[in-house]
């Protein structure tokens, strides 16, 4: 997976994998969302994004499989990846893996995200092809998912 810097000058190899119990125990108070609660939720999966060669967790994502789409409950960059101090584009990298999981599950790439209705957050997701469903929910269709996968998993052009 590609993790690009915000200036587009560098690309790192990233990996998305399940969070372990040890990581949850060690890092639960570090994150804004309730990591322990999400980890023990029977219908949800919690994955982490890391850069190959580093143990630092760049982002976490909590999601569940629904009848014909994946629903993301939480997607959070680590505190050192938020705001101006961040050098990495975290959101599209971790989203691309969830889009791929949607295709593998037979959901045609459809992914929904339950979000806070904040205009800057909505604009952020729209940059990657998201569309509004309702006040608190956006989604990625097959076209948007394929674009994310091409750029961040298949090393395509941005």
Domain layout of the chain by residue ranges = 2-152
Helix (H) or strand (E) holding 46: strand 44-51
pLDDT digits (tens, 9 = 90+) for 68-93: 999 999 888 887 777 666 678 888 89
Listed in sequence order, the residues at least 6 apart from 144 whose beta carbon sits closer than 8 Å to its beta carbon are 99, 109, 128, 129, 130, 131
Average pLDDT for 32-42: 78
Q: What is the CATH number of domain 2-152?
A: 3.40.630.30
Identify the residue with better confidence: 39 or 112: 112
- Structure confidence at residue 85 (pLDDT): 64
Q: Would you say residue 52 has pLDDT above 90?
A: yes
Identify the residue with better confidence: 120 or 97: 97
- Phi first, then psi, for residue 38 (nearest 5°) are -65, -40
What percent of the chain lies above the pLDDT cut of 90? 46
Report pTM. Answer: 0.87
Residue 117 is encoded by which pair of tokens? 């209705």
Residue 145 is encoded by which pair of tokens? 């998912």
Q: How many CB atoms lie within 10 A of CB 6?
A: 12
Listed in sequence order, the residues at least 6 apart from 73 whose beta carbon sits closer than 8 Å to its beta carbon are 38, 44, 62, 63, 64, 114
- Structure confidence at residue 84 (pLDDT): 67
Listed in sequence order, the residues at least 6 apart from 110 whose beta carbon sits closer than 8 Å to its beta carbon are 68, 69, 70, 102, 139, 140, 141, 142, 145
- Structure confidence at residue 120 (pLDDT): 83
pLDDT digits (tens, 9 = 90+) for 8-30: 888 888 999 998 888 877 776 76
Q: How confident is the model at residue 158 (pLDDT cuts 50, 70, 90)?
A: very low
Residue 146 is encoded by which pair of tokens? 């394929």
Of 23, 33, 89, whose CA–CA distance to 63 is shortest? 33
């Amino acid at each position: 997976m590609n993790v690009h810097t915000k200036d587009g000058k560098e690309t790192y190899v990233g990996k998305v994998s399940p969070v372990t119990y040890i990581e949850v125990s060690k890092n639960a108070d570090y994150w804004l969302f309730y990591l322990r609660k999400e980890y023990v939720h029977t219908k949800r999966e919690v994955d982490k994004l890391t850069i190959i060669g580093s143990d630092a967790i760049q982002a976490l994502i909590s999601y569940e499989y629904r009848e014909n789409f994946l629903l993301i409950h939480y997607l959070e960059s680590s505190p050192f990846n938020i705001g101006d101090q961040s050098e990495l584009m975290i959101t599209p990298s971790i989203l691309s893996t969830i889009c791929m999981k949607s295709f593998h599950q037979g959901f045609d790439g459809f992914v929904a995200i339950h979000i806070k209705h904040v205009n800057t957050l909505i604009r952020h997701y729209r940059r990657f092809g998201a569309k509004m469903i309702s006040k608190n929910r956006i989604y990625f269709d097959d076209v948007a998912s394929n674009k994310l996968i091409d750029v961040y998993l298949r090393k395509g052009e941005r």
